Amino acid sequence: MRIAELYRSVQGEGRLTGVDSVFVRTSGCNLRCWFCDTPYASWTPEGDDLSVDEITERIVALEATHVVLTGGEPMLFAELMPLCERLRGVGRHITIETAGTLYQSLACDLMSISPKFASSAPPSAEHPRWHARHERSRHQPEVMRRLLGDYDCQLKFVIDQPSDLAELSHYLADFPQLRREQVLLMPQGVTLADLESRRGWLEAYCAAEGFQFCPRKQIEWFGLQRGT
Ligand code: SF4
């Protein structure tokens, strides 16, 4: 499978924030969010094709017990299943970060799903083909139901503007099995100024509605840098 980067760092988002982890970033995505902060794994995918053996060896050499399989969209790859089996075999805790549009049956300890709203679509004038494909693919309720039924899940929503909150309510109404504490709302942004500009109203909304506010700690700690 094509790997854009593989490194050890600290998880900056969600339930496992602060946990030392190895990150494996697969390259390639079926969506094209305009705000994608890893364009080298979506818009212009980079990286080498590595075997499951090679990836496992590199992960084991980095000696962290937690592994985060992220992207791009890692669920695009059939090799994800044997890779997860190997990692389970060597005692690793496995998080998969996905947009929740594709299903696979895997060894996975935490399914971290980041569903995408209408506001994530790339501009239709500039990217008509990707705009249409993104809109067709981004919401797959049947896939989400299977993921929620089969895995321990957290849902991390990237919130760009207050109008996203109405879409959030509609979205959540389709999944009554979700508990509020599984839902994390994260401000859109790749600079501290971007994040701060959305923090006030989003944090207040989370407090009022019982959702978790999810800071992007890796931006605070490292800025937007590859390998962090
Ligand atoms: S789903 Fe994730 S990796 Fe894919 S384009 Fe959107 S933000 Fe980027």
Average pLDDT of every residue of the chain = 95
Determine the distance separating the centroid of ligand 1 and the alpha carbon of 177, expressed in angstroms. 25
Task: Determine whether the shortest distance from the Cβ of 138 to ligand 1 is under 6 A.
Answer: no
Å from CA of 99 to ligand 1 middle? 7
pLDDT at 46 over 80: yes
Query: Across the chain, where does the E strand assignment appear?
Result: 2-10, 20-26, 48-49, 66-70, 93-98, 110-113, 153-159, 183-187, 212-213
Instruction: List pLDDT tens digits, range 155-195.
Output: 999 999 999 999 999 999 999 999 999 999 999 888 888 88
What are the C-alpha distances in Å from 206 to residues 18, 93, 183, 202, 211? 21, 29, 10, 6, 5
224 — pLDDT class (breaks 50, 70, 90): confident
pLDDT tens digits for range 70-128:
999 999 999 999 999 999 999 999 999 999 999 999 999 999 999 999 999 999 999 99
Q: Give percent of the chain above pLDDT 70.
A: 100
Measured in Å, residue 185 CA sits from the centre of ligand 1 at 16
**Ligand 1: does its nearest atom lie under 6 Å from the Cβ of 42?**
yes
What domains sit in the chain, N to C, each tagged with a CATH number? 2-158 (3.20.20.70)
Q: Is the pTM of this model over 0.75?
A: yes
**E-strand stretches of 35-102:** 48-49, 66-70, 93-98
Is the CB–ligand 1 distance for residue 158 below 6 Å? no
List the residue whose alpha carbon is closest to atom 5 of ligand 1.
32
Q: How far is the CA of 42 from the centre of ligand 1 (A)?
A: 6
36 phi and psi angles, rounded to 5 deg = -50, 125
